């Protein structure tokens, strides 16, 4: 039995087909022809037709790679969080998709914040311009003709799922979070009508991620090589799917994703409200919660310390220099959003960064920030196990894995496949296995397990204590 995951990302579509043991039977990626088709400078839009074109091509290549595409039992789709498109009565797009990073709805975000404080307090987040709900308000305010003709506001993942099964008016509660769906009571807030003047009939039905929505339509099956017996199931956002692929599927399990930026997501038994507003929770299909936050620092800052050398050369030269003794918070600009919020925070470097120390010091600084994030989660009452599941470009560096494992004093476990599409494949398999947790246990394979170095761990403990003081003093953070 095979399971297909489709990731509709920021730059294109990736499709993965996995077996019950997690082996990859097929995979293919297709970039979008254009990343932004907005006519107005500063806005970000994409054509839903481009999403469909890339998704169909990725699916067709994958099904052609399979000896038995009829073995595909289920398909799940993830998409960019906050992206929304209005559909008419025939489920045709009325506008381009308004993307997750489009800033136009700032005024409507303030309106949602002013009038929907109860749902914000209940779920532990604040409506911002990156949320879907303010974009719906913007369409109502600025494009009333479109609003009146809208049958349903669909998220990006909903639209591609609809292309597969014909059901466009059903979403999942991961994508629906930024549209303000009440994850506790399982409904759209009635205050949308009374306080915001919105028509609740224009909002989609909501299922849990992994729940069956509909079978692949005969037309999609003929066009794409999929079996008409396959189920299309509830999807998620791309960040949610990435966390699942890394292993954050049960309470105490955390996915630390370190690439261009640092993202931490972990499963908790109860809904955790973060008082400083740096993190908020999605809901997992089994009833647990997925708490997470994203920092402004990450691996891209290493590019400034490479001195035109390759990463492999820099890693080899840095091995003998750790611990450097340097304490740094290596932001690339001003402001931090996780694990503390301070828009005026500046990067800092304390200690000798000459003699090649800058490169490993940056690795250490991000490792200290990662530990700070875990400390913050534990301070909120979250359980953190002895193993951290990690993904992202930083995992290509054995040195950085060693540094991070020693700073955290925890084992780092690196999955073989960390695509968001793999997380969607796990959701597609969750009904077959009986739960997402069982699907993950059977299907996630790990390519490396890195234990902390005891000597380094002791030294890093001493340095980290001073680092926390630095963050309090220089970043104004309560850590």
User: What residues form DSSP beta bridges with 29?
Assistant: 14
Structure tokens of 316?
Answer: 């080899």
Confidence of residue 20 (pLDDT cuts 50, 70, 90): very high
445 vs 300 pLDDT, higher one = 445
Task: Give the per-residue pLDDT at 308.
Answer: 86
The C-alpha atoms of residue 134 and residue 114 are separated, in whole angstroms, by 12
452 vs 307 pLDDT, higher one = 452
Where does 247-475 sit in CATH, by number?
A: 3.30.420.40
User: Of the ranges 13-27, 80-94, 127-141, 303-317, which one carries the lowest mean pLDDT score?
Assistant: 303-317
List the domain boundaries for the chain: 2-239, 247-475
Task: Give the per-residue pLDDT at 393.
Answer: 86
Residue 306 clears pLDDT 90, i.e. is over it: no
The answer to whether residues 178 and 172 touch, using CB atoms and an 8 Å cutoff, is no
Confidence of residue 171 (pLDDT cuts 50, 70, 90): very high
Q: Which CATH class is domain 2-239?
A: alpha beta
* pTM given for the model: 0.94
Residue 18 clears pLDDT 90, i.e. is over it: yes
Task: Give the per-residue pLDDT at 260.
Answer: 84
Non-local CB neighbours of 95 within 8 Å, separated by 6+ positions: 45, 85, 86, 139, 143, 146
**Length of the chain measured in residues:** 479
Count of other CB atoms within 10 angstroms of residue 238: 28
Average pLDDT over residues 23-44: 96
State the average pLDDT for the chain: 96
Q: How much of the chain, in percent, has pLDDT values that exceed 90?
A: 94
Task: Give the per-residue pLDDT at 418.
Answer: 84
Task: Give the per-residue pLDDT at 277.
Answer: 93
* 190-218 pLDDT, tens digit each: 999 999 999 999 999 999 999 999 999 99
Count of other CB atoms within 10 angstroms of residue 130: 18
User: Of the ranges 144-148, 149-153, 325-329, 416-420, which one carries the lowest mean pLDDT score?
Assistant: 416-420
The C-alpha atoms of residue 154 and residue 159 are separated, in whole angstroms, by 6
Task: Give the per-residue pLDDT at 259.
Answer: 87
Confidence of residue 136 (pLDDT cuts 50, 70, 90): very high
Is 247-475 the same fold as 2-239?
Answer: yes
Task: Give the per-residue pLDDT at 478.
Answer: 87
Confidence of residue 304 (pLDDT cuts 50, 70, 90): confident
Average pLDDT over residues 419-447: 97
Q: How far is CA 79 from CA 15, 239, 320, 329, 451, in A?
A: 12, 9, 43, 31, 34
* Burial class of 417 by CB neighbour count within 10 A (0 to 12, 13 to 18, 19+): buried
The C-alpha atoms of residue 313 and residue 122 are separated, in whole angstroms, by 50
Q: Dihedrals φ, ψ of 229, to 5°?
A: -85, -15
The C-alpha atoms of residue 149 and residue 165 are separated, in whole angstroms, by 23
- 3-state class (DSSP) for residue 365: helix
Task: Give the per-residue pLDDT at 343.
Answer: 93
């Amino acid at each position: 039995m095979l399971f297909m995951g489709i990731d509709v990302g920021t730059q294109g579509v990736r499709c993965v087909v996995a077996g019950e043991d997690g082996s990859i039977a097929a995979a293919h990626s297709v970039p979008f022809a254009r990343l932004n088709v907005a006519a107005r400078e500063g806005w970000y839009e994409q054509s839903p037709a481009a999403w469909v074109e890339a998704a169909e091509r990725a699916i067709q290549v994958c099904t052609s790679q399979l000896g038995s595409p009829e073995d595909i039992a289920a398909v799940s789709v993830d998409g960019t969080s906050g992206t929304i498109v209005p559909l008419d009565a025939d489920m045709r797009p009325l506008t381009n998709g308004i993307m997750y990073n489009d800033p136009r709805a700032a005024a409507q975000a303030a309106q949602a914040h002013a009038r929907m404080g109860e749902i914000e307090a209940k779920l532990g987040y604040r409506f911002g311009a990156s949320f879907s709900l303010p974009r719906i308000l913007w369409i109502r305010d600025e494009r009333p003709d479109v609003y009146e003709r809208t049958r349903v506001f669909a998220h990006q993942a909903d639209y591609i799922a609809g292309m597969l099964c014909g059901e466009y008016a059903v979403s999942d509660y991961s994508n629906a979070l930024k549209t303000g769906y009440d994850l506790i009571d399982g409904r759209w807030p009635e205050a949308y009508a009374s306080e915001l003047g919105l028509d609740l009939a224009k909002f989609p039905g909501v299922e849990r991620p992994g729940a069956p929505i509909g079978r692949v339509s005969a037309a999609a099956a003929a066009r794409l090589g999929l079996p008409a017996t396959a189920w299309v199931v509830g999807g998620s956002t791309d960040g949610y799917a990435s966390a699942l692929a890394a292993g954050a599927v049960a309470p105490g399990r955390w996915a630390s994703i370190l690439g261009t930026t640092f993202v931490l997501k972990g499963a908790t038994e109860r809904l955790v409200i973060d008082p400083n507003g740096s993190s908020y929770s999605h809901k997992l299909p089994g009833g647990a919660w997925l708490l997470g936050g994203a920092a402004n620092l990450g691996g891209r800052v290493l590019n400034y310390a490479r001195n035109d050398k390759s990463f492999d050369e820099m890693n080899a030269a840095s091995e003998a220099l750790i611990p450097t003794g340097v304490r740094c918070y290596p932001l690339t600009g001003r402001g931090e959003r996780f694990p503390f919020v301070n828009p005026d925070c500046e990067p800092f470097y304390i200690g000798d960064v000459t003699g090649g120390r800058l490169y490993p010091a940056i690795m250490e600084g991000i490792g200290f920030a990662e530990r700070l994030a875990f400390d913050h989660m534990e301070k909120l009452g979250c359980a953190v196990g002895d193993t951290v599941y990690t993904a992202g470009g930083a995992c290509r560096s054995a040195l950085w894995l060693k540094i991070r494992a020693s700073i955290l004093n925890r084992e780092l476990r690196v999955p073989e496949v960390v695509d968001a599409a793999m997380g969607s494949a796990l959701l597609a398999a969750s009904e077959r296995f009986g739960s997402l947790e069982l699907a993950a246990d059977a299907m996630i394979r790990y390519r490396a397990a890195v234990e902390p170095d005891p000597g380094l761990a002791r030294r890093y403990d001493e340095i980290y204590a001073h680092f926390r003081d630095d963050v309090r003093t220089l970043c104004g953070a309560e850590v």
